[in-house]
Amino acid sequence: MASDWNDIPDEEFRSTFRAWVDQNCPAQLRYMRKQRPLFNEVAEWYHALAAKGWLAPTWPRQYGGMGLSAAKHMIYVEEWGRLGCPRIPDHGIGLVGPLLIEYGSEEQKAHYLPRILSGEHVWCQGYSEPNAGSDLASLQTSAVLDGDEFVVNGQKIWTTLAHCANWIFVLVRTERDAKVRQKGITVLLLDLTSPGVRVRPIANLRGEADFCEVFFDNVRVPLKNLVGKVNEGWTVAKSVLGHERIFLGAPTRPEYALERLRRLADARGAFEDPAFLSRFARLRLDLYDLGSAFERYAKVLRAGGELGADVSALKIVTTELYQRITEEMLTVAAEEARLADDLAAGDIEIDAMNLFLDSRSPAIFGGSNEIQRNILAKAVLRLPG
Amino acid sequence: MPELMLDDPDGTLVMLRDSVTGFAARFPGAKAMRERRGRGGTMDPLIWSAMAEAGWIGLLLPEECGGAGLGLREQAVLSEALGRALIAEPTGTASVFAATLLGGASPGVERSRLAAGVASGEVVAVPAWTSGAKPVVARSVNGRIVLSGETRFVDAARAATDFLVAAQDADGVMLLSVAANADGVAISERAGVDGSAIATISFSDCAVPADRMLSRANRSEDLLRQAILHTRLALAAELTGVASKALELTIAYASDRVQFGKPIGSFQAIQHRLVDMWIEAEFAAAAVVNAVDALRGDDDDAAELAVLAAKARAGEAAFSICRRAVHLHGAMGYTDECDIGLYLKRTINLNAMLGQPEQLRLEFVERESGYRRGRI
């Protein structure tokens, strides 16, 4: 094993990674229709990555990660996508790990990190509440210290994959009268098998249950499960995503959708319609230019720089482009757009409706596009408040 | 504000940007545009020769021709900076297009004279190659080349000392230079939207000495294609600069202008529009950088695609940004006195040159995948 992945030239790293992944990611898991498979559906792939030591690309090597630089991590993610590998339940790898490595105690790191790698702990993220979505700081789920335990009451919602998780890292309110609402929020690690926890999956527009409601009724959480300091969880919660924010803007989804549109349009003879050709050309160029814009930020990371708030531009464009492409698929499908199931296009099936419905969500999640615009207005354009 | 992000190891690019800033202090762009309009659209020779003196007009010409011998990276940064400063001179045509043609023309006395003159500013060599109703045809008569026909959309025709003309003969297209004051050359001008004059040049049995031939058939098509490629890139960069500056002015205005007791830039409806404009400008800059990078590689097809995308994106972005910029300036934006309208008009002119976004996008998908209109 290499002493440091970052010392290997990019192309060599790419081919090494790619070759192994291509050989070891099970064929039946490639190009899954499901965007968010459950843990047991992809466990084989998860454990294979863990055994190889390639499950946690950005964790430092001392914690069992690969310690990849942002540049190498981008290659990792690109190849993963290019080979059609499924998304694994990655809240532990992507969020809890980095959070603990940054803010956790030595005991917490020693206890939780290996259990993430082994798959014993599957994590979900308890942020949003029914009345705290875009306005996350208004969250009300409470934790009251009682001896050496917190007592948690309240409800989380839109908790992705909570129904296959056994742990949740949860934002709770520990101080109601704080002058600034961001004060008084605390991060707890909570065992979902504790008494008083109830998880209810929510069906989405595609008829799948990616996300859940999680209810807490006098759930007791040991004081040692506190991350960082009481009432200072907002900083902890906000700091989790670093260079990973670029991936919210990766052109992967629209790329895939445009290829599907092309196949459908070919099969339906749509390219003979000049009006379609004109619309297609616009979508194609929007995607091409998204690639150029992505590269602009990737260059910053490769040069060892850090991303600013401006990277949100990618998230807005990629999610809205994804929507426009899938809307065009329904136009091309003509009356067949009434159908729920896939459309035949030559020798393949095109999941037009599946993609159309799926494309509704990325513009909402991860900070809705309107919130992203608010952030850009303030942080980049410096507009008055 | 968005700008081209390119490596600049020896500081050349910063120097170029700084020199344009200094130049704009001497020759403010908006003022020059208004004065040109007052003169009926003729170029200010003082400005053009100062640009030549700065080394900008011959920037792409090889050093042995009297040029600066710089490349498209530098040209892109220069054009962007000129766009930002609204220095609305015919840089795309009378510098980039002309220099690319001359740089690749057959070596000879005429080419040397033109190239050195373009670089020094003593010669204003204006490309005249877009066919009008009657394409320009060349005949050979007594060892001279005799031209008939007309060519359209020629910039700075009355300031030109020479026209770089594409003419059809039996073998294909030849490129030659024609003295602007030659017998048989007639210039008819129309007012351009940004105050420049745009001419149709008619040649009636215009006899040109044979030694004014710059390239023969076969080579000429390649040269024209290359000149179009380089000029599209320069126009895309210039449009990016115009867009970025128009956005900057609009953000400043919205932050300043108070209504309902608050700056209008504090309202979410305005903020989101400005953010969308900023994203467009950001993408335009990224598309131009992508084209600059592609042109340095050895894949010609990839470079052609990248340039098509860059000109389409920058044109679309600049037009969209400037339209909205006028609107966000309110009634002030609709006045001639407010500069923002000049950015819009300059954009319309540049955007319409060498392909509007729609045309460029269709060309892109045809080149890339063979999709084209009327394909059955």
DSSP B316-342: HHHHHHHHHHHHHTHHHHTSSSSTHHH
Say if residue B198 is in the same domain as residue B257.
no
Considering the domain architecture, whether residues B100 and B163 belong to the same structural domain is answered as no
Question: Out of B263, B278, B364, whose CB is closest to A285?
Answer: B364
Q: What percent of chain A has pLDDT over 90?
A: 84
B241 and B359 in a common domain: yes
Going B286 to B287 to B288 to B293, the CA torsion angle's sign is positive
Q: List Cα–Cα distances, B355 to B42, B90, B230, B316, B363, in angstroms.
A: 24, 17, 13, 11, 10
Strands (E), chain B: 125-128, 130-131, 137-141, 144-155, 162-169, 172-179, 185-191, 197-209, 213-215, 258-259, 262-263
| Beta carbons of A371 and B272 less than 8 angstroms apart | no
B78 and B177, same domain (yes or no): no
Return the residue of A nearest to B272 by Cα.
A373
Q: How would residue A3 be classed by pLDDT, with cut points 50, 70 and 90?
A: low
Interface pTM (ipTM) of the complex? Answer: 0.95
Domain boundary among B163, B195, B216: B216
C-alpha distances out from residue B299 to A195, B291, B303, B305, B362, Å:
64, 12, 6, 10, 21
Is there a contact between B278 and A376 if contact means CB atoms under 8 Å apart? yes
Q: Is the distance from CB of B240 to CB of B281 less than 8 angstroms?
A: yes
Instruction: Say which of B279, B289, B375 has its CB closest to residue A272.
Output: B375
Angstrom distance (rounded) from CA B212 to CA B17? 36
Please give the average per-residue pLDDT across A193-201, as a whole number: 98
Q: What's the pLDDT tens digit per position in A44-56?
A: 999 999 999 999 9
Distance CA A385, CA A366 (A): 23
Q: Is residue B156 part of a domain?
A: yes
Asked, for residue B263, whether it belongs to a domain, the answer is yes
Interface check B365 vs A, CB under 8 A: yes
Question: For A154-192, how does the pLDDT look when each residue is reduced to its tens digit (9 = 90+)?
Answer: 999 999 999 999 999 999 999 988 788 889 999 999 999
Q: How far is B100 from chain A (nearest CA, A)?
A: 26
List the single residue in B with minimal CA-CA distance to A317. Answer: B279
Catalytic residue flag (residue A244): yes
Name chain B contacts of A281, Cβ cutoff 8 Å.
358, 361-362, 364-365, 371
Q: Is B257 helix (H, G, I), strand (E, B) or coil?
A: coil
Does the pLDDT at position B373 exceed 80? Answer: no
Q: Give the 3-state secondary structure of residue A2.
A: coil
What are the tokens at B295? 């042109």
Q: What's the rounded mean pLDDT across residues A370-382? A: 96
Residues B273 and B212 occupy one common structural domain: no
CATH number, domain of B89, equals: 1.10.540.10
Q: What would the pLDDT profile of A263-320 be if each residue is shown by its tens digit?
A: 999 999 999 999 999 999 999 999 999 999 999 999 999 888 989 999 999 999 999 9
How does residue A238 score in pLDDT terms, banded at 50, 70 and 90?
confident
Residue A35, pLDDT score = 81
Distance between CA atoms of B293 and B72, rounded to whole angstroms?
A: 10
Q: Choose the closest CB to B275 out of A289, A295, A373.
A: A373
Taking alpha carbons only, the member of A359, A360, A141 closest to residue A257 is A359
Q: Give the H or E element holding residue A50.
A: helix A39-52
Q: How far does B60 lie from chain A, in Å, by closest CA?
A: 25
Burial (0-12, 13-18, 19+ Cβ within 10 Å), B27: middle
State whether A281 and B365 contact (CB < 8 Å).
yes
Residues A123-145: tens digit of each pLDDT: 999 999 999 998 999 999 999 99
Beta strands A185-191; A343-345: pairing state: unpaired
Q: Do both B305 and B169 map to the same domain?
A: no
B305 plus B320 within the same structural domain: yes
Please give the average per-residue pLDDT across B71-100, as a whole number.
Answer: 98
B5 touches chain A (CB under 8 A): yes
Domains along chain A with CATH numbers:
5-88 (no CATH), 123-236 (2.40.110.10), 243-379 (1.20.140.10)
Would B1 be classed as within a structural domain?
A: no
Largest CA distance in chain B: 79
Q: Between chains, do A316 and B279 touch, taking CB under 8 Å as contact? A: yes
Pick the closest to residue B215 from B321, B290, B108, B307 (CA basis).
B108
Counting DSSP H helices and E strands in chain A, the numbers are 12, 10
Q: Assess whether pLDDT exceeds 80 at residue A242.
A: no
Query: Cβ separation of B286 and A313 shorter than 8 Å?
Result: no
Residue of B1, B371, B373 to mutate for A, most A C-beta atoms under 10 A: B371
Mark which of B184, B216, B248 sits at the end of a domain: B216
What gap in Å lies between CA B111 and CA B94, rounded to an integer?
Answer: 15
Facing A380 at nearest CB: one of B270, B278, B306: B278
Total Cβ atoms within 10 A of residue A347: 7
Residues in chain B within 8 Å Cβ distance of A374:
268, 271
- Give the integer Cα–Cα distance in Å for A157 and A202: 9
The verdict on residue B375 lying in a domain is no
Q: Are A36 and A88 in contact (CB under 8 A)?
A: no
State whether B163 and B259 are in the same domain. Answer: no
- Average pLDDT of every residue of chain A: 94
Quick one: pLDDT band at residue B374, thresholds 50, 70, 90?
low
Chain A touched by B205 (CB under 8 Å): no
Where residue B303 sits, what CATH number does that domain have?
A: 1.20.140.10
Residue B275 lies in a domain: yes
In a domain, B292, yes or no: yes
End-to-end Cα, chain A, rounded Å: 52
Neighbours of B245 (CB within 10 A): 25
The Cα A185–Cα A196 span in angstroms is: 21
- Report the distance separating Cα A162 and Cα A140, nearest Å: 19
CATH number, position B141: 2.40.110.10
> CA B94 from chain center: how many Å?
8
3-state secondary structure of A343: strand
Among the three residues B188, B216, B244, which one is the final residue of a domain in this structure? B216
Name the residue among B271, B313, B361 with its Cβ closest to that of A377.
B271
Total domains present in chain B: 3
Over residues B319-358, the pLDDT tens digits come to 999 999 999 999 999 999 999 999 999 999 999 999 999 9
Amino acid at B27: F
Q: Which residues of B touch A317 (CB under 8 A)?
A: 279, 283
B166 and B39 in a single domain? The answer is no
Is the pLDDT assigned to residue B376 strictly greater than 50?
no
Q: Is the pLDDT of residue B317 over 50?
A: yes
String of DSSP letters for A138-162: G---EEEEETTEEEEEEEEEEEETG
What's the rounded mean pLDDT across residues A253-259? 94
Rounded distance, CA B323 to CA B334, Å?
11
Distance CA A63, CA A104 (A): 13
Q: Dump pLDDT digits (tens) for B217-258.
A: 889 999 999 999 999 999 999 999 999 999 999 999 999 999
Please check whether residue B3 lies inside any domain of the structure. no
- What's the domain range around B61? 12-120
In the block, which residue shows the tokens 């942080």?
A: A379
Cα end-to-end distance, chain B, whole Å: 46
B193 and B266 co-located in one domain: no
Q: Which one of A244, A320, A327, A336 is the catalytic residue?
A: A244
Mapped onto helix, strand or coil, the DSSP state of residue A367 is: coil
pTM: 0.94
Instruction: Indicate whether B7 belongs to any domain.
Output: no
Strand bridging mode B213-215 / B144-155: unpaired
Predicted confidence band of residue A244 (pLDDT cuts 50, 70, 90): confident
**pLDDT confidence band for B4 (50 / 70 / 90):** very high
Q: Give contacts of A288 with chain B, Cβ < 8 Å.
A: 305, 309, 364
Let me know whether B225 and B364 are in one domain: yes
Beta strands in chain A, from DSSP E residues, in sequence order: 123-126, 142-146, 149-160, 167-173, 185-191, 197-202, 211-222, 226-227, 343-345, 348-350
B294 Cβ contact partners less than 8 Å away, ≥ 6 residues apart: B302, B303, B305, B306, B307
Tell me the two tokens of residue A283: 């979508």
Residues B230 and B362 in one domain: yes
